[in-house]
Structure 1
Amino acid sequence: MRAAQEVKRVWVEEIMGIPMSVHLISFGEPEASTERAVRACFHDLHEIDGLFSTYRPESDISRIRRGELALADADPRVDLVAAACDEAEHRTEGLFSARWDGSFDPTGWVKGWAVEEASRRHLAPLLSSAIAVGINAGGDLQLFTAAGADWQWHVGIADPHDRGRMIATIDITDGAVATSGTSERGHHILDPRTGEPATGVASATIVADGLAHADVWATAAVVAGPTDHSWITASASRTGVTVGDDGAITRWLGSTVIDVRQVSGAPAA
């Protein structure tokens, strides 16, 4: 039977200050070429971290922010990311911004983009001999499944008010899932329009084709707040769910909003 033949292998490495894990489902033990592909994926992500980290004084981004390096003289990938951030700010109508305070901080874009790019380059080709492969970057996922394979990734969405409870499960063959919110790091997401912490949404989960896209719109959903759903059509997301600070859950499919009117485990006011 299929279940008896499947072999699941996981590789884990800390990158960008978070655990990143590659998950492979195959028939048989991974080959040496698979090991090399996983290590190459991690290597690319370490390289991007070294280039864009705001915590490393020697990174291009840190040097740009100190005025020691012009954007035009930086690694070409910095200019590529700057253009992508400007486009994301335009598409989200200012709900996402890498330049809101006058400086340049693309960290809200870089992780999703880097994970998606590295996994498409190094992990997706493994499907020539594997059933499925995916990467988990601190809870954000980029997932791939071989054409014709009888496999789906079952992704649970945790209640931000009760991390031991799942409010939904999403089945994905290929795609990305990103979650932003306050349950892990508090109100760390700033509203670029005001410079103040975004409040009202405890978590927002977006499902899209790619993680760069999903990650930006998960952030935008938190900034938009619990009652503004006008951004959903522009997000072109497959589906998603937000959980308010009060526990109210809103779900959508495509551009159609479904208010489940369910209450999560939010503490009483």
Structure 2
Amino acid sequence: MGARVAGLHVWVEDLMGMAVSIHVRSDSDTASVATEKAVASCFADLREIDRMFSTYRDDSDISRMARGELFEADADPRVAEVAQACREAEVETGGLFSAHWQGWFDPTGFVKGWAVERAARTHLEPLLADEIAVGINAGGDLQLFTAEGREWQWTVGISDPHRQGEVLATFDIRNGAMATSGSAERGAHIIDPHTGLAAARGVASASVVADSLTRADVWATAAVVAGFDERSWVSKAGTQTGMLVADDGRVTRWLGSTVIETVVA
């Protein structure tokens, strides 16, 4: 589905159990044929990845591997790529993120950010040769691009987890990604790999801005597991900026590797 409003073109599809929208800022009020094709290809890639990695499909590679019907070496090569990336993320986060904590491979907490970034870089980023800016929003996680020399930046609002419908802060992003994790929207769904239990260290939401959505998504999850009062990971995460909101309303922001502000509720 496409929408056109004065140079802003938006397409939305229901993929991976959520609304995924692609946004193109253009000099033209009509999206070009090349742009339409790139958007269609991006959505097609995401549908293919979902068929491969969904734990809700009996015929996915991941489900077949869990049942012992398929080995990683015999699966689509992208499965091995994701498995290796998950192993690297587990080491980098000191075990705050893991796709193997149950004893088998479940990349559910990794593959969305990886898939969206991969599809966006393959199909959408090349559009910057002709468009002002392009971006994709997958359930609130975003990968955003702006053409060099163009006067445009994306303004992204952070929802207040304690006041429904209100914006707590905004981030301005020219090129980068943002991911948000926490208990505010979906309850205590993030698991602490060290205990196998729901993470319960006081983070209502963690929003992370990085160059890569894959990295932002991993570290947003890791931040929830680490907890509000443990922020030593910030110095090694390699993120641009971000915000933690505690269950009790406290807020911490950081810039690069430095925590710059903590506000008490």
Q: Partner residue of 1:10?
A: 10
Please tell me the residue identity of whatever aligns with 2:171: I
Distance 1:26 1:234 in 2: 37
Tell me which moved more, 24-33 or 185-194. Answer: 24-33
Q: Identify the residue that residue 223 of structure 2 maps to in structure 1.
A: 221
Corresponding residue pairs, total: 259
What residue number does 2:243 align with? 241
Root-mean-square deviation (CA, aligned residues, Å) is 1.0
TM-score, scaled relative to structure 2 = 0.96
**Alignment-mate amino acid for residue 175 of structure 1:** G
CA distance in 1, matches of 2:123, 2:261: 39
Structure 1 match to 2:45: 44
One-letter identity of the residue aligned with 1:130: E
Following the alignment from structure 1 to structure 2, what is the Cα–Cα distance between the partners of residues 216 and 35? Answer: 31
Q: How does 1:63-78 map to 2 (within 5 A)?
A: 63-78=64-79
Which stretch of structure 1 is more off in the superposition, 226-235 or 80-89?
Answer: 226-235
Aligned-pair CA distance for 1:6: 5.2
How far the C-alpha of 1:144 sits from its partner, in A, is 0.4
Q: Secondary structure at the match of 2:191?
A: coil
Q: Per the alignment, in what secondary structure is the counterpart of residue 192 of structure 2?
A: coil
2:22 corresponding residue in structure 1: 22
Pair 1:104 & 2:105 matched: yes
d(CA) in 2 for partners of 1:70, 1:203: 36
| Deviant stretches of 4+, over 6 Å | none
1:51, distance to aligned residue in structure 2 (A): 0.2
- 1:42, distance to aligned residue in structure 2 (A): 0.2
- Say if 1:6 and 1:25, in contact at 8 Å, map to a contact too: no
Provide the C-alpha distance between the structure 2 equivalents of 1:97 and 1:163, rounded to a whole number of angstroms: 31
Unpaired stretches in structure 1, ≥5 consecutive residues: 264-269
TM-score (norm 1): 0.94
Residue identity opposite 1:136 in structure 2 = N
Give the Cα separation in 2 of the matches to 1:66 and 1:178: 31
User: Identical aligned pairs, as a percentage?
Assistant: 62
CA distance in 2, matches of 1:57, 1:100: 21
Instruction: Give the C-alpha shift of residue 258 in structure 1.
Output: 2.3
Q: Does 1:255 pair with 2:260?
A: no
CA distance in 2: counterparts of 1:126 and 1:92, whole angstroms = 34
